[in-house]
Amino acid sequence: MAIILPELPYAYDALEPYIDEETMHLHHDKHHQTYVNNVNAALEKHPEIGEDLESLLADVESIPADIRQAVINNGGGHLNHALFWELMTPEQTAPSAELAAAIDATFGSFEDFKAAFKAAATTRFGSGWAWLVVNKEGKLEVTSTANQDTPISEGKTPILGLDVWEHAYYVKYRNVRPDYIKAFFSVINWNKVNELFAAAK
């Protein structure tokens, strides 16, 4: 068995005009495929540890030292992207009543949450991700990680994530990351976020 690239849950052009078709092809077919290839190459060296990336990345010290950084980078890259595709949809969706109440209780209002998420995505220096997570205390938190680090390695459950690597937006948005972040809010699959929130509580 090896880890395989999951198909997109929609057509490559489904998120137009917010996320363009060319970016989706490059991002999914090239970038995500490379993470899959590289994590498989690393895991092949240690068949004894299996392929459960969530468990491995939840305890990175358990990963053999000679492949640890490769699994953090490429296993994280695979998990993050597999989640990211599912977190977007061309359909109109909305936060559940339960999630909306938790967002209000944590951030003050939905607009305040949005501002916090946008700030995390905008100020993440270089490559990385912005996240809405459920932390160890069962509370919502906005955070960001560098490179392909996953919040799972910090004991947090990601329920919404935005890739802010340049490869995610440069074809369409060039250097204007804030416009890409704004566009992302038009394609969030809140049904998936609601499901992850309910499971994480």
Q: Do residues 32 and 5 make contact, with C-beta atoms less than 8 angstroms apart?
A: yes
User: Site for Fe ion (CB under 5 A): which residue of 20, 86, 149, 163?
Assistant: 163
The stretch among 13-21, 90-98, 107-115, 157-165 that binds Fe ion (CB under 5 A) is 157-165
46 labeled binding residue = no
Q: Most distant CA pair in the chain: distance in Å?
A: 48
Instruction: Tell me the H-state helices in 44-189.
Output: 53-58, 65-70, 76-86, 97-107, 110-123, 170-173, 177-184
27 labeled binding residue = yes
Report in angstroms how near the CB of residue 73 gets to Fe ion at its nearest.
12
| Other beta carbons less than 10 A from residue 62's beta carbon | 11
The stretch among 42-50, 68-76, 164-172, 183-191 that binds Fe ion (CB under 5 A) is 164-172
Report in angstroms how near the CB of residue 128 gets to Fe ion at its nearest.
10
Residue nearest to Fe ion (CB): 163
Of residues 18 through 37, those in contact with Fe ion by CB under 5 A are none
Q: Do residues 163 and 129 make contact, with C-beta atoms less than 8 angstroms apart?
A: yes
User: What would the two tokens of residue 115 be?
Assistant: 């501002």
Contact call for residue 149 and Fe ion (CB under 5 A): no
Task: In whole angstroms, give the CA distance from residue 78 to residue 178.
Answer: 24
The stretch among 42-50, 92-100, 160-168, 191-199 that binds Fe ion (CB under 5 A) is 160-168
Radius of gyration of the chain (CA): 17
SS3 of 138, please?
coil
Report in angstroms how near the CB of residue 78 gets to Fe ion at its nearest.
11
Binding site for Fe ion (CB under 5 A): 163, 165, 168
Annotated binding site for Mn(2+): 27, 81, 163, 167
Annotated binding site: 27, 81, 163, 167
